[in-house]
Each structure stands twice: as C-alpha cells, then as structure tokens.
Structure 1
Amino acid sequence: MLPERVLSGMRPTGALHLGHYHGVLKNWIQLQNERQCFFFVADWHALTTHYESREVISKATWEMVIDWLAAGVDPEKATLFLQSRVPEHAELFLLLSMGTPLGWLERVPTYKDQIEKLKDKDLATYGFLGYPLLMASDILIYRAAHVPVGEDQVPHIEITREIARRFNYLYGREPGFEEKAQASAKKLGGKRTKHYLELRKAYQEEGNAEALEEARALLAASQSLGNADRERLLGYLEGSRRNILVEPKALLTQASRMPGLDGQKMSKSYGNTIGMREDKASVEKKVRTMPTDPARVRRTDPGTPEKCPVWQLHLVYSDEPTREWVQKGCRSAGIGCIECKQPVIDGILREQQPMAERAQKYVDQPGLLRDILEHGREAASRAAGETMREVRDAMGLSY
C-alpha cells in the first residue's frame, strides 16, 4: 500500500525556541516514522507579510533548518526543502488562481485578523490576499492526504479542499470517462476488478461508507495502476469525474502547553522565550530571574504553586516526585524560589544537550545543510512534477 503523504511547512523566523519544539517539531518527529513526510521552508509565505525584509529571510532559513535537524527531524526519513526552489508551487498557484472565486479568499478568518494585528504593515497586496491559495498549492501539489495543524488553521484546510473539489469538477470531466474507467478497472486484475465494482455499487447505491473506504484502500494498495488510472478510478468510485487533486484532511495537533518565562504561551512577540540551542549561562539566568508567586515576598512566606509561572514549567520538565516536593515545599515555605527553579533549569538543559550536539556538525559544515536541502528539492520536484503533468493535461496545456 502506498504511504499516505503528510505536508507541513514553517515560515523562516530564525532560531527556534522550545515552544516550537514542543508545539510542532515533536509532532513532525513522530510523523516521519509513520508516514511519508514533506517538510518545507515557506520562504515565499514570509514575503506575503515581510516583502520589504529580504535581507533576513536567508539567514533565518539556515538557522531554522539547523534547529529542525537539531530537534531530530531526519532527512533520511522525511523530505526537507525550500519552497522557492520548487517552482511548480508557483505554477500551480497561478493556474488555480484562474478559477478560484475572490470571495473565498476574502472570507478566510486569518485574512482580516492578520490585517488587524499587523496594522503597521501595508498588506493591501495581491500576495497577501492570495496566500491561502499559495498554501493550498503547497498542499495539493504533493497530493498530501493529511496536514498537521492547530484548530486555528483548519479553515485553511477547508478552503484547500474546496479548491481541489472545484478543480476536479471543472477539469476532471474526460471525454469517454466511463469507458476509460472501465478499462482502468480491468488493470486491477480478475478478482480485484470484480471486488472494486461491487464496492463502488455498494457505495453509490446504498451509501455504504465502509465500502468507500475499502475501495480506496484497494486502489492505494494496487501496484498495477499508474497515477492517472488510480485518479480515474477514485473519481469513478465517488461519481463521474477524475480526481486530479487530492482533498487533504486536517491532522489536528494538540495545542502546545509550553509556557514562556512569564506564564503566557512562549512566543517571540512576548519576549518570553528560551531558544532550542540557547547557551547554559543564558538559560540559567532567564529561569532564575523568572517572576514567582507575588505572595512570596520573603523566603519564609508560603506560596501557591499554581499562581507561579515556574510551576507551569515543572509540569513540562519535572517528574511526579519533584512536583510533589514543589507543592509541599512552596506551600509550607520549606523551599525557596531559587531551589524550586533548579529542577526546571536541569530539565531544560537535559532536553537541549542532544539538540546542541546534533546541530554542531551543521554549524561547522554548512555544506551538509545545503546538500540535505538540495537532495530534498530533487525529491520534492519529482513529486510536484508528476502532479503538474496531470494538471496541465487536464487544463489543455499539454502541447
């Protein structure tokens, strides 16, 4: 059975912090062991809001990719690449823009939200309006089945599904589709052909959802089908059109519980972060100067851990016996705030050590990083090229 593809990307923001690690990268590391993953640097997306800041994008990109590798993202298991090095993204973006209604882009919730948040920037640009379509192109060009997102990003997946559905409706109507689908079905061979047709009938006549899923799995597992035959049979299964672009599903990820130094969510905009590769002295200083429960003015004053930002970091880095020690010691004033913070410092440094070790060879040998991204570009270009051949053919552009 062909592995389901996962697609995810990040805008180049420079060196990453522990919130990125707990909120995104740990999930990527798990997914790379389970599915075929494409992880990309969304450098064109960075230009939609920071088009005047060209000088920072390149440096930010290298820093960010090193942090991906430091976290444990494995280029032997996942495809890592730069969006701007695979021009098919832009071609699909252009072609999809021909038939995407303007109102679909204007109603994306983050469109007006970002304009409100970034009032200091001129975002009355075509690029910013069209960024949900560029995001859709990033996903659709790899025929990704799943996209890991938080709940706030689900509307982007929904518009991607609508765009794919509209494209398939407009361009999936082949002359002689029924005959071509029957011919493709025969390529399954004997019993599988018969079983596929039975499942199709069960779904179309009885609405049997289990039959639909079983038929999809049968097609995915067939080694005798090319992409065009498989897409045609998926379309024949569900209706009367060829499915050229895959409708992706949102793979919901749990919201990161990683708190910042002030108790808010860790974010560069709040100035409350600890970098994934921040040096030991800086980490110690930041944690030791963290605010604590206001009730603990003196060492002898009892406190309430739940009112202290340090407790939130104990929930991430400390084991159960240590948390019990904190609860008892804080409430009874048996321990001071500096004592309470030490296990958190130790936990952060333990987490950072393997990251620093993995990162060092890429810092020392930047050529290794470039080789990884070039290898990833080649793999991504092959996959994107396959999709674009199908798209051009469907749109009458295969001369």
Structure 2
Amino acid sequence: MTKPIILTGDRTTGPLHIGHYAGSLANRLACQDSHEQFLLLADTQALTDNAHDPEKVRRSVTEVALDYLAVGIDPTRTTICLQSHLPALAELSMLYLNFVTVSRLERNPTVKDEIRARGFGRDIPAGFLCYPAAQAADITAFKATVVPVGEDQAPLIEQTNEIVRRVNATANQQILPEAVAVIPKTGRLPGIDGKAKMSKSGGNAIPLSASPDEISAAVKAMFTDPNHLRIEDPGRIEGNVVFTYLDAFDRDKTAVEALKEHYQQGGLGDGVVKKRLDDILQALLGPIRTRRTQLSKDPGYVLDTIKQGTERARERTDATKREVVEHLGLFRL
C-alpha cells in the first residue's frame, strides 16, 4: 500500500528547542515508518522576516539539520531537504498567487496575528504577506495529504486547500490533493518565564543542545505560582510552567496527577517539583546533546544528508510543477 505523504519542517532561524521536540519532533520520529515524510529546512520562509540578516538564516540551516539528526530523524526514512534549492516551490508560489487575492491573504487569521505580533503595521514584507501561497506551494509540490501544524497554523492549511480547489477547478480535473491539518496533542509550550510563546530570540527557551547546567538553571528560573510563598500553602497548577512541562515530558502520568493534587492541597514545595522536571529533561536531552556533538564533528556528513535529500525532493517537486503547468494549459516550448 502507498504510504500517506507528510510534509513538515522548520524555519532556519536558529537551533531548535524543547518546544519543537514536544510539538513536532517527537511526532516526526513516530511517523518515519508509517508515512513517506519530507522535512523541509525552510530557509526561504525564514527570510520573510529576516532579510536583514541572511547570514543567520544560512548558518542556521546546518544547525537545524543537526538537531533533526540528533533527535533520531533517519535520512534513509525521512527526506531532509532545503527549501531554497527546490525551484519548483518558487515557481508554484508565483502561479498560486494568481489564485488568491490580497484581501484574502490579509484576512488569514495566522497572518493577521503574526503581523500584529511583529509590529509591521502597513510595512509588511511582501514575502511575509504572501506566505500562505508559498506554503501552499510547499505542501502541494510534494502532494502531501498530512501536515502537522500548531492550532494557530490551521488557517494556513485551510487556505492551501482553497488554492488547491481553485487550481483543480481551472484545470477541470483533480491535479492536486487537499491536505489535512494534524494538531499535536501537546500544544505550544509556554516559555520558562510563563509567557505564551517560547522563542529562540526571546531567551525563554531551552535549546535541545543545552548543557546540564543550562537545563538546571532554566528549570530553577521557571515561572510557577507567585502566590505559593510557603510549602504548606495551596498552590495553583494553572499557568504553572513546571506542571505544563511535566504534562509534556513526564511519562508517568499517574505520578504527575498525584503531584498536582498534593501541590493544590499544600505541603509540596516548588523545589521538589522542579527537581523531578530537571531529572526528566536531563534524561531526555543528554543523549540528544551527545549525538549532536558527535555529528557536529563530521560536517561533511550533515551537508551530504541535506544534498541527497534535496536531490530526491527536487525530482518530486519538479514533476508536480510540470504536471500543474501542463494541466493548466500554459504554453510549452
């Protein structure tokens, strides 16, 4: 039987952190055998709000690839490819922009929220505004039918499917499949400071490559319940980052529920809970850090992995682009 095709990836703006592991990397590991998986190093997309610093984007390509390999992504089972070296993606993006309006792009909830968060006002980079069409190109070029995204990204998949339906209607046949957005069970983790978004640039994330001391320092600094001043005081678990992380990473769910109950009743100090989380994160990130260090000593292997994956992806995406151009009836030489 043909495996379902899954497309996922990350913007190359810096090394990945534990939020990426909980929200996407763990699921990618689980999908390596059940799906035909393509993992996109999204350097072109990273430029949409980092065009002032292309060196950071370039440098981060190998950093993100190292993180992929260190967590256990197997390049023989998952194709790791570089977005900027797949010309069909740019060509399909240009085609798809004729099937969507500026007003529809501006109404996309994900785009609106990101524009507001970045304070662009009306000075929106055109590449940023047009990202939904570019993502539609990424997804359809691989003919992906499964796209894991955060809940806040689901409107982008909806818009991809709108473009797919318009292209298919214009061609009068089903050239491209629609995709299903798969929302991970673990939502976006908050930053260690309790802010809603963990980010590489915000200084509130734990990198996958964090040292033991860095992990411990981050856990000690985590936001808990500011009103839990004494051990005997009842504590709140809502908004308590330590418990949010335990929910995401502690496999002993029964023990976590018991800790929550004890904490809410009073008599359980923050230090005890943080010690448990520290132990769990050390056990999770230690092997990843070791593999990453070993892989970083062989940059040729990492580069060859990206090159070989990109070549395989180019064959797939070029074939889709030719099919779209042909069925849309564009002039051929």
What TM-score, normalized to structure 1?
0.74
Name the structure 2 match of 1:162.
Answer: 162
1:277 pairs with 2:209: yes
CA distance in 1, matches of 2:301, 2:152: 35
Name the structure 2 match of 1:364.
Answer: 297
Name the structure 1 match of 2:285.
Answer: 352
> Aligned-pair distance for 1:324?
3.1
Name the structure 2 match of 1:246.
Answer: 177
SS in structure 1 at match of 2:237 = helix
> Aligned-pair distance for 1:139?
0.9
SS in structure 2 at match of 1:137 = helix
1:392 pairs with 2:316: no
Contact preservation (8 Å) 1:5, 1:35: yes
SS in structure 1 at match of 2:49 = helix
1:17 pairs with 2:22: no
CA distance in 2, matches of 1:287, 1:392: 53
Name the structure 2 match of 1:315.
Answer: 247
Please list, as runs of the form range in 1=range in 2, the aligned pairs for 1:254-293 lying within 5 A after superposition: 254-256=185-187, 258-265=189-196, 267-268=198-199, 271-293=203-225
Deviations 1:41-75 (A, max 9, x none): 11111112222121210122221221122222221
Contact preservation (8 Å) 2:212, 2:282: yes
Counterpart amino acid of residue 150 in structure 2 = G
Match of 2:315 among 382, 385, 392: 382
SS in structure 1 at match of 2:7 = strand
> Aligned-pair distance for 1:167?
1.6
Deviations 1:294-336 (A, max 9, x none): 444456x434252654333333444334663675478553x64
Name the structure 2 match of 1:231.
Answer: none
Counterpart amino acid of residue 300 in structure 2 = G
Alpha carbons of 1:343 and 1:90: their partners in 2 closer, same or farther (altered >3 Å)?
same
CA distance in 2, matches of 1:99, 1:311: 45
1:52 pairs with 2:68: no
Query: Where does structure 1 lack aligned partners over 5 or more consecutive residues?
Result: 173-240
Counterpart amino acid of residue 211 in structure 2 = D
Contact preservation (8 Å) 2:11, 2:42: yes
Contact preservation (8 Å) 1:19, 1:266: no
Name the structure 2 match of 1:226.
Answer: none
CA distance in 1, matches of 2:188, 2:108: 26
> Aligned-pair distance for 1:276?
1.3
Runs of 4+, deviation exceeding 6 Å: none
> Aligned-pair distance for 1:93?
1.5
Name the structure 2 match of 1:304.
Answer: 235
Structure 1 or 2: more helix by fraction = 1
CA distance in 2, matches of 1:295, 1:169: 59
SS in structure 1 at match of 2:321 = helix
Aligned residues: 328
Alpha carbons of 1:311 and 1:147: their partners in 2 closer, same or farther (altered >3 Å)?
closer
Q: Percent identity?
A: 33
Query: Where does structure 2 lack aligned partners over 5 or more consecutive residues?
Result: none
CA distance in 1, matches of 2:127, 2:69: 30
Counterpart amino acid of residue 119 in structure 1 = G
Quote the RMSD (CA, aligned, Å): 2.5
CA distance in 2, matches of 1:321, 1:315: 10
Deviations 1:339-376 (A, max 9, x none): 33222111110011221132122211111111111111
1:342 pairs with 2:254: no
| Mean CA deviation greater in 357-366 or 317-326 | 317-326
Please list, as runs of the form range in 1=range in 2, the aligned pairs for 1:3-82 lying within 5 A after superposition: 3-82=3-82
SS in structure 2 at match of 1:49 = coil
> Aligned-pair distance for 1:260?
3.4
Counterpart amino acid of residue 359 in structure 1 = R
Name the structure 1 match of 2:129.
Answer: 129
Alpha carbons of 1:41 and 1:298: their partners in 2 closer, same or farther (altered >3 Å)?
same
Deviations 1:166-215 (A, max 9, x none): 22222x2xxxxxxxxxxxxxxxxxxxxxxxxxxxxxxxxxxxxxxxxxxx
Counterpart amino acid of residue 349 in structure 1 = Q
Deviations 1:99-126 (A, max 9, x none): 4334332322233322222225874343
Deviations 1:240-298 (A, max 9, x none): x3322222222233342644323444502653221112000111122224344444445
CA distance in 2, matches of 1:289, 1:295: 16
Name the structure 2 match of 1:238.
Answer: none
Counterpart amino acid of residue 293 in structure 2 = Q
> Aligned-pair distance for 1:127?
1.8
Contact preservation (8 Å) 1:14, 1:62: no
